[in-house]
């Protein structure tokens, strides 16, 4: 855990997790016997990037403490510098007696796995799941939330109805769902700070979980993405490194370069990439010459080139789209809908025999469903097989040793 940002785990991010700060004393009346009305804000960071996690954040405080949020200066995190965001998160932690916060860090693997399912669990559904999980965690802690402000996902009214439907026992909560809520309500701005700082720090100190990943010695254990500082003597080296991930947005040239330079023809990319993004899908399906780095143990005369994940690269390759088989197919999918065959017709009967007249025609037999017809045919085949088996046994020679040995 990073001591300056406790919501970030110092370990490879391979699964989603939730961090929740301690419940402020002023939110539960000190002893927990007095209910204190509180407000709560919800916002996210990293919804659009192709790299790194999507982080949902919440912040909450007593209703009469909202002016404190304005005085501290909480606002839309996207309009602030990295240093200012760090300072605001420090202020949020400093006022732990009156303000609490929590984040849900959604890993790239979980995002992609949900979106690439046979029955896709899209990003909007995953976002609402994270929001509901965070709010429910605070309600379960005994905090009396009376007002919730949410930065919307899609249509505000539809999203409001969706969120309300998850809390039928809390009809007293007043919901406000709108666009740009982080710029309007300071409590949402505080949630935005918690989410943005957590995501940025996850990317800055990204640890690759892939054991065979070939990294430059100066970047082992991290993605090489660092904040630009005036006194950073390695700034020029970072700009030229393929492991500078950039902002993670598909429009960032550094992010595009990272995807191009680290693409493996077999495995795609490391776990930092969201495979379900259109940018990644398109790049996987493009045919291009591969580029990689030599392994240190290879001689200078050896022209063998390897990808960062250790795959030997041919001169030209084409990667293929990843297909997830998370759900088994039903048995009915393996049977064709062919016309039912005639079953049980006596041998020797001509199929071209003249149909009987109406006077002599027997009433039509009920048409069985195809499944029952197939079952009946299987039973007849098993009966014939058993009859032939017993006939063969009766004609074969059997001694006492065969029967009693």
Q: List binding-site positions for a divalent metal cation.
A: 43-44, 151
Backbone angles phi, psi at 86, to 5 degrees: -60, -40
Q: Which two tokens stand for residue 280?
A: 């990644």
| CA–CA gap between residue 44 and residue 191 (Å, rounded) | 8
Separation CA 127–CA 131 (nearest Å): 6
CB 60 within 8 A of CB 173: no
Indicate the helix (H) or strand (E) that contains 126.
Answer: helix 123-140
Query: Residues at the annotated binding site?
Result: 43-44, 151
DSSP, res 334: G
Dihedral over Cα of 285, 291, 292, 297: its sign: positive
Strand boundaries in 160-315, DSSP class E: 174-178, 287-289, 305-306, 312-313
Strand ranges for 299-355 from DSSP E = 305-306, 312-313, 316-318
Q: CA-to-CA distance for 163 and 169, rounded, in angstroms? A: 13
What is the distance between the alpha carbons of residues 334 and 332, in angstroms, rounded to a whole number? 5
Distance CA 319, CA 312 (A): 13
Distance CA 93, CA 203 (A): 21
Q: Does an H or E element contain 394, and which? A: helix 370-395
Q: Tell me the DSSP string of 3-46.
A: SSSTTS-SS---S-EEEEPPPPGGGTTTTS-S--EEEEEEEEE-
Residues in the chain: 405
Cβ neighbours of residue 302 closer than 8 Å, sequence gap 6 or more: 294
Question: Which of 387, 52, 195, 138 has the alpha carbon at shortest distance from 148?
Answer: 138
Q: Are 23 and 66 in contact (CB under 8 A)?
A: no
What are the backbone dihedrals phi and psi of residue 184, each rounded to the nearest 5 degrees, phi first? -105, -45
């Amino acid at each position: 855990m990073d001591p300056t940002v406790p919501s970030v785990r110092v370990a490879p991010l391979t699964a989603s997790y939730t961090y929740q700060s301690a419940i402020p004393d002023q939110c539960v009346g000190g002893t927990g016997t007095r209910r204190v009305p509180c407000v709560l804000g919800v916002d996210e960071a990293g919804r659009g990037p192709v790299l790194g996690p999507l982080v949902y954040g919440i912040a909450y405080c007593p209703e009469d403490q909202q002016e404190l949020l304005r005085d501290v200066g909480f606002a839309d995190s996207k309009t602030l510098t990295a240093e200012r965001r760090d300072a605001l998160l420090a202020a949020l932690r400093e006022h732990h007696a009156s303000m609490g916060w929590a984040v849900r860090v959604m890993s790239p693997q979980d995002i992609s796995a949900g979106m690439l399912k046979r029955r896709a669990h899209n990003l909007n559904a995953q976002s609402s799941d994270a929001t509901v999980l965070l709010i429910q965690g605070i309600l379960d802690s005994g905090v009396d939330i009376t007002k919730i402000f949410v930065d919307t996902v899609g249509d505000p009214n539809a999203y409001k109805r969706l969120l309300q439907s998850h809390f039928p026992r809390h009809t007293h909560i007043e919901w406000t769902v709108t666009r740009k809520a982080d710029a309007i309500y300071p409590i949402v701005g505080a949630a935005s700070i918690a989410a943005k700082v957590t995501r940025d720090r996850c990317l800055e100190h990204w640890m690759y979980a892939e054991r065979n990943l070939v990294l430059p010695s100066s970047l082992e254990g991290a993605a090489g993405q660092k904040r630009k500082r005036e006194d950073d003597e390695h700034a020029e080296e970072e700009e030229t490194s393929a492991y500078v991930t950039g902002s993670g947005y598909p429009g960032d040239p550094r992010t595009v370069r990272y995807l191009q330079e680290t693409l493996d023809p077999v495995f795609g990319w490391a776990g930092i990439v969201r495979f379900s993004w259109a940018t990644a899908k398109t790049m996987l399906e493009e045919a291009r010459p591969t580029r990689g780095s030599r392994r240190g143990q290879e001689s200078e005369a050896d022209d063998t080139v390897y990808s960062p994940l250790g795959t030997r690269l041919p001169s030209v390759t084409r990667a293929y789209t990843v297909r997830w088989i998370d759900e088994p197919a039903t048995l009915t999918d393996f049977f064709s809908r062919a016309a039912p065959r005639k079953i049980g017709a006596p041998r020797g009967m001509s199929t071209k025999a003249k149909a009987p007249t109406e006077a002599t025609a027997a009433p039509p037999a009920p048409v069985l469903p195809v499944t029952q017809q197939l079952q009946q045919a299987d039973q007849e085949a098993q009966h014939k097989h058993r009859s032939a088996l017993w006939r063969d046994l009766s004609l074969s020679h059997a001694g006492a040793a065969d029967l009693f040995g």
